[in-house]
Amino acid sequence: MKTDTIQSPVRITVVDALRGFAIMSIMLLHNLEHFDFYFTPQGTPAWLRVLDGKIWDTLFFLFSGKSYAIFALLFGFTFYIMGNKQKSKGLDFQGRFVWRMAILLCFGIINSIFYEGDILAVYAVLGVSLVFVNKLSNKVVLFIALFLMLQPYEIARFIYMLLHPVYVPGNPASWHYFGNQWHYIPGHSFTNTAIGNLINGRVATSLWSWEAGRCFQAPALFMLGMLLGRKGLFIASEKQKKFWIKVLIISIVSFTVIYIYNRFLPKPISSQVLNNQIGMILVTWSNVAFMFVLASTFVLLFQHKWWHKLLTRLEPFGKMTLTNYIMQSMVGACIYYGFGFGLYRYTGPTYCLLIGIVLFTLQLWFCKWWLSTHNQGPMEAIWHKLTWLKS
């Protein structure tokens, strides 16, 4: 039976809706994590502990490392859209983009006052990589992106461990700095928390981004997003539909193979150190594979009338990504940290999920209300005006 599809161009709307989906799921995870302050409440009933475990496992399986990846993919797509618009006017966007990233870095530092796990500052620094590949051919950009996606540094570490069996890596450096959170987040002083987040927290997040492979993976996703823009693969067409169906099939197969190997198959190498290193590399690959499962499914469903009507409700949320992200950090810190309500002491994943759903609902309502009289969110408008300041 033939299905009805949306025939009008949906490049911008589907991207906004997909971005809204990503930021929504990121917010839900942040709530479960008490905004980067992990703590398990004591004395909860047995049934609630079981439910907490199920919710934690399910949401982290679905979104951890995947929602961020969708966000990164669309970051690269936005770079292409803005650059292509300037190119059509005979202007070069590259210098202006570097300035735009400097502004984003400032937003990231402001956001870090409340939430040390801020990703804006990391994107601002890594996003400059797009300037160096912007004028390269599609094939060269794809090769660079795939090379970075392989995690070359971690593969090099694996080879080193293989050649030096006595080498035993120490604990990740970020662990020390994350442990220092206990000196300021549980306290009642906002000033101490802000200083701790800006100094200790930024170091912790930067180290973790390196240790988790994000410093290679994020630029690779930026580049892939740029290529999706060049190819027009967010515009509804038969070509686009066939492309995303192929992506969906390949991603499902890739993720399934990696997941089965990691969870069920006996490891061919006896060394636990080497197996841990292989596991770390495979996790980054499986996250990207599952991200493409989510993204391709979303894009394909978006073209069907019923799903389009449902998913397009996320569009206002995606249009105000920067505002929503910073707002989440401010509100989340006030809810969970010691200088606010300190709910990290009492809320497990079940309660945190409910809080996250309430916050998302309120933010979505705010986005609809704000966009009814404005073209952009408040933070987006400031970023736009600062980006296009006269020299």
> Which of these, 233, 215, 238, 224, lies nearest to 144 by C-alpha position?
224
Domain encompassing residue 136: 11-387
Alpha helix segments (H runs only) across 303-377: 305-311, 315-319, 321-336, 349-371
* pLDDT in the model for residue 266: 84
* pLDDT in the model for residue 92: 87
Helix, coil or strand: residue 124:
helix
Q: What is the largest CA-CA distance in the chain?
A: 65
CA 43 – CA 60 distance, rounded (Å):
24
Q: Is residue 5 assigned to a domain?
A: no
What is the average pLDDT across 88-93? 88
* pLDDT in the model for residue 265: 84
What is the average pLDDT across 247-255? 98
Helix, coil or strand: residue 235:
coil
Helix, coil or strand: residue 102:
helix
Q: Is residue 3 assigned to a domain?
A: no
Q: Is residue 240 assigned to a domain?
A: yes
The count of structural domains within the chain is 1
In the predicted model, what is the mean pLDDT of the chain?
A: 93
Q: Is residue 4 assigned to a domain?
A: no
Q: Is residue 38 assigned to a domain?
A: yes
Contact, 239 vs 96, CB < 8 A? no
- Here the tokens at position 260 are 């089965």
Contact, 154 vs 280, CB < 8 A? yes
Supply the angle between the helices 67-88 and 272-302 in degrees, to the nearest 10: 60
Q: Is the pLDDT of residue 10 over 50?
A: no
Q: Is residue 96 assigned to a domain?
A: yes
pLDDT tens per residue, range 279-307: 999 999 999 999 999 999 999 999 888 89
Q: Is residue 1 assigned to a domain?
A: no
pLDDT tens per residue, range 12-32: 799 999 999 999 999 999 999
| 5, β-bridge pairs | 304
Contact, 380 vs 322, CB < 8 A? yes
Q: Is residue 27 assigned to a domain?
A: yes
